[in-house]
Chain A
Amino acid sequence: MATAAELTVAEELVPLREIAVSRGWNLKELDPLHFHIALPAKDKTVFYLFVDCENYKAQPPAWHWCDAGGALTDRAADRPKGSGFLHPNGVICAPWNRLAYKTVDSRGPHDNWTIGNWLQNSSTGGCTTLAHIVLRIFVEINGPRFASARLAA
């Protein structure tokens, strides 16, 4: 029987799949709780995310920068840079990223956020679904704050 997290992810992947097909973003659904997505940045560099939706939505997904194959995660060579959002610690700094919480990941910039309250966190804004979060990341790596390609390895 599918878990609540699996059912929610399945539902939220529908609009994301539609957008990915339209934009030519490569979306690989690895299992009911994990997917891999490729997003182009404004300098034509392609960045890849491995997304772990365990315990979604009690907790936010973990958005790992990764290599094209998805096997290697959280390497400096695979991360974009350019703002506090694309944090120098190597994680996306937003309440909808599990890795932004210091209680979860030592690189997490925030020890003042409560992970169980991520949907109510004012910095989450309307960014409460998988498609919305992906669009938010896409806009950031195509926006004026995106400085350049990857951090030095």
Chain B
Amino acid sequence: MENIDLLQQAEAHLQQAEAELKSAESAERSAEHDVAVALEELKELEEIKPHEILLEIATPNGLFKGIFAESAKISEVIPIVVEKKKLNDKDTFELFHGETELQPTSRTLESFGLKRKAKLELVATGSGV
């Protein structure tokens, strides 16, 4: 009877150890991914000259990555992205940075406080209620 209890305890410990191992492996993979992303970002930033910004824009046709002058106007950026991502140029698009809508489009990237690298979203105007 005592041996059975010990065996059950050992099995429970083994299961716990296996779960902890899986969790550790998952954390390791996540950390490796974070390191890879950070290294890639460092490499990207090395390619950017002073007064330039790397924009990573989520568009309806996928990701757009491009380097722009900080002094580029939003109205200059949007048509380039629309063309490169083959979006419908009959739609009117708006750029967003977090909760900030980049309006008016006559303003420059730097006037919105964007520096070095920024993640933006491009969405068609009026799509919703």
Contact = CB atoms under 8 A, between A and B. Distances in A.
Nearest to A140: B128
A136 B127 contact: yes
A138 B121 contact: yes
B26 interface: no
Interface in A91-145: 92-94, 96, 122-127, 129, 131-133, 135-136, 138-140, 142-144
Nearest to B61: A15
A77 interface: no
A45 to B, nearest CB: 14
Contacts of A133: 127
A125 B127 contact: yes
Interface string B52-79: 0000101111110000000000000000
Given A19-B58, A42-B99, A143-B101, A136 B63 contact: no
B85 to A, nearest CB: 9
B99 A143 contact: yes
B112 to A, nearest CB: 15
Interface residues on chain A, size class: 20 to 34
B58 A126 contact: no
A126 B88 contact: yes
Contact of A125 (B101, B121, B128): B128
A18 B101 contact: no
Contact of A131 (B60, B91, B101): B60
B127 A142 contact: no
B127 A94 contact: yes
Contacts of B99: 42, 142-144, 146
Nearest to B87: A126
B113 interface: no
Contact of B63 (A19, A85, A125, A142): A19
A22 to B, nearest CB: 5
Contacts of A129: 60
Q: What are the 7 closest A-B residue pairs judged by CB atoms, nearest first?
A: A126-B124, A127-B127, A15-B62, A125-B127, A132-B60, A126-B91, A125-B126
Interface of A: 14-15, 18-19, 22-23, 42, 84-85, 92-94, 96, 122-127, 129, 131-133, 135-136, 138-140, 142-144, 146
Given A19-B58, A19-B63, 14 more contacts: A18-B63, A22-B56, A84-B129, A94-B129, A125-B125, A125-B127, A126-B87, A126-B125, A127-B127, A131-B59, A135-B58, A140-B128, A143-B99, A146-B99
